[in-house]
Amino acid sequence: MRTHCLKFLAFATLFSVAASLSAQQPAAPKHEDTEVYEPVPPVVTPGASNAAPPSDAIVLFDGKNLDEWVSAQDKSPAKWAVADGVMTVSKVPGVGNIETKRSFKDYQLHVEWKIPTNITGSDQARGNSGVFLASTGPKDAGYELQVLDSYNNKTYVNGQAGSIYKQAIPLANPNRKPGEWQSYDVVWTAPRFNDDGSVKTPAYVTVFFNGIVVQNHFELKGETLYVGKPVYKKYDTAPIKLQAHGDHSEPISFRNIWVRELH
């Protein structure tokens, strides 16, 4: 009888231990464990082509007027010429850069530009302009994506078309000939700053140039400068600026500019 009781106790103990171990084992994973149903992404209707603005875009220039733009110098109405569906950099002295009335933080940008067929000059004096992804001052302050004729035109590679000026060499040179329309599609992540002005997170940019990746989530070192090393200056949101550089014999044209804010 005693032996029988001992066997029963041993069995009960083993059963209890087994049950305890079983309870400690995680449940077998289910496919539902990794399925998320909210929040539901908003529905966005794409444009008729990859270049056409989608349904949630802010159209900055549709070929009709410069209502979305002001002078970067004094915020007066932009004075670049508009004709035949394009805007053209003004050669009038003092007119200068233009920028958007609105300010942005993170966004997707589409912009098309064209170097004139009869462009002359070489190096940086060959259709020089720029898209400032965040304009932090009236002249050339901010973060510049270079616009230039880089079709059979030698210059410093961190200053050719598709470069983040003086910081990032483009991964390829997909320039079309002067007289043909070029396109930039940009994803811009603005820098974040601490209260004391120090950098919390840097700016990042991805650029498609005529459909080719030329900047792949590049980390900027600060604002783009002609002379000196890049530095960051604290800001929250900023306009997008187009440059009237002056180093070109014939004006550069822009068309079909739109932006999607990223939240």
Residue 132 lies in a domain: yes
Q: In this structure, is residue 25 part of a structural domain?
A: no
Asked whether residue 28 is assigned to any structural domain, the reply reads no
Number of domains in the chain: 1
Report yes or no on 219 lying in a domain.
Answer: yes
Separation between Cα atoms, residue 128 and residue 150, nearest integer Å: 10
The structure tokens 């000196």 sit at 228
pLDDT in tens, 181-197: 999 999 999 999 999 99
135: phi then psi, degrees, rounded to nearest 5: -90, 115
127 within domain boundaries? yes
> Which tokens hold the place of 18?
């087994």
Dihedral of CA atoms 115, 120, 124, 127 in degrees, nearest 10, equals -20
* 202 vs 90: which has the higher pLDDT: 202
In this structure, is the dihedral angle defined by the CA atoms of residues 139, 144, 150 and 156, taken in order, positive or negative?
A: positive
Torsions phi, psi for 77 (to 5 deg): -55, 140
Can you tell me the distance from the alpha carbon of 32 to that of 74, in angstroms, rounded to the nearest whole number? 57
Establish if 253 belongs to a structural domain. Answer: yes
pLDDT of residue 249: 59
Confidence at residue 251, expressed as pLDDT on a 0 to 100 scale: 86
- What is the average pLDDT value for the chain, to the nearest integer? 88
* Cα 51 from Cα 185, distance rounded (Å): 9
Query: How far is 107 from 143, CA to CA, in rounded Å?
Result: 14
Q: What pLDDT score does 8 carry? A: 46
pTM: 0.86
CATH number for position 233:
2.60.120.560
Domain of residue 223: give its range.
Answer: 58-261
Rounded-to-integer distance, Cα 132 and Cα 140, Å: 8
Q: Which helix (H) or strand (E) holds 7?
A: helix 2-24
Average pLDDT of the residues in 158-184: 94
The answer to the question of residue 12 being in a domain is no
Reference 83, options 60, 66, 95; nearest CA is 66
Q: Which residues pair with 183 in a beta bridge?
A: 112
